[in-house]
Homo-oligomer: A and B are copies of this chain.
Amino acid sequence: MYSHTYLRDLITAIFSKMGCSKEDASTIAEILLKAELRNIPSHGILRIKDYHLLWKEGRINVSPEIRIIHETPGTAVVDADNAFGMVGAKRSMEIAIEKASSTGSGWVATRNSNHFGIAGYYAMMALEHDMMGFCVTNANPTVAPTFAVERLLGTNPVAFAVPANREHAFVADFATTPIPRGKIALAEKKGEKLPAGFVQDDKGYTSEDPSVLRRGGAILPLGGDRLHGSHKGFCMSSMVDILSGVISGANFGPFVPPGVAYLPRKDKQVGKGTGHFFGAVRIDGFMPGDEFRKRMDEWIRTFRNGRPAEGQEKIIIPGDPEREAEERILQEGIRLVPAVRDDLKAVADELGIKFE
């Protein structure tokens, strides 16, 4: 069990040693640890091994010049200059917030970026400015559209954060697939079958075998099959890809670069790097902040107090489980599974940083 501050200093040191500025290293540490605290370890310290490998292969720029390459009062395109994803993403969301301050809403499409951790972090940045926050990103293709066998989309998550008053903020942060990739890998490791509706084989038939992903299979869009609305999951994932990849000038669809070092760069590129899209919307662009936050309180209470199904305890408001985890883990400390701790130790050792 490690304290949040110990790991923060360690991770900051690791990324500083790779050549990141102190500020960038501390941004990366903060966002990776936010994933740990919110109990989304698949997007936390687990990733450091791959980030380090990508850096060693020269696939990441640790001294990026992040700049706006096109803008209007309410929109911008940011080139992240191949930075670690968190660095360009945080700056992009800051720009969206600045633009929202003056025009009511700000929208930033980011190209030439990399894997950026949890989308929810950036959406939540808007909350302290009394804004709603929005963030999506495309990702390495693992998902087949409805009726397809090819992997043409990533798990393309959507995050949306809305402030409340006495209640905690509403924070949705979800992949546009029924299940995250990490859970499939875990089932394979354990030799377990998957429930139907998560993956398909290389001919497009639904499969319960998690290993099909390594043999031409694919993850299904949210909905699972056409009958149950997978074309709607495909629509959502497409919207994320168009915003993140097409209008930003990044790569889209099957051309999105991998976020891990063991996968090679793609031959064909249709833009620069991975793409994200950020939005900030001022609450008082619509109604006084106080009035809105009280309405959100009533929305949240209405849903939280809804009658639960038989055998269920309560209705879960988006963001509740992650926030409760954050309060608990901040107290208790962060537990690293042995494999992740060993990987972190190997990176620290290689960079000459003490970790025990």
Contacts and interface: CB of A to CB of B under 8 A. Distances in A.
Contacts of A6: none
A276 B187 CA distance: 42
A210 interface: no
A292 B103 contact: no
B70 A73 contact: no
Report the copy number of this chain in the oligomer.
Answer: 2
Given A197-B228, A252-B299, A303-B145, A74 B105 contact: yes
Contacts of A176: 232
A329 interface: no
B254 A74 contact: no
A239 to B, nearest CB: 5
Contacts of A102: 73
Interface string A292-324: 100110110011001111111111101000000
Given A75-B282, A147-B315, A232-B176, A200 B309 contact: yes
Interface string A233-247: 111101101100111
A285 B72 contact: yes
A146 interface: yes
A179 interface: yes
A84 interface: no
A287 to B, nearest CB: 6
B104 A104 contact: no
Contacts of A64: none
Interface string A96-140: 000000111101010000000000000000000000100000000
Interface residues of A, number: 93
Contacts of A318: 231, 234-235, 238
Contacts of A150: 306-307
Interface in A211-266: 222-224, 227-229, 231-236, 238-239, 241-242, 245-249, 252-254
Interface of A: 70-77, 102-105, 107, 109, 132, 144-150, 152, 158, 160, 162, 170, 172, 174-179, 195, 197-198, 200, 203-205, 222-224, 227-229, 231-236, 238-239, 241-242, 245-249, 252-254, 270-271, 281-287, 292, 295-296, 298-299, 302-303, 306-316, 318
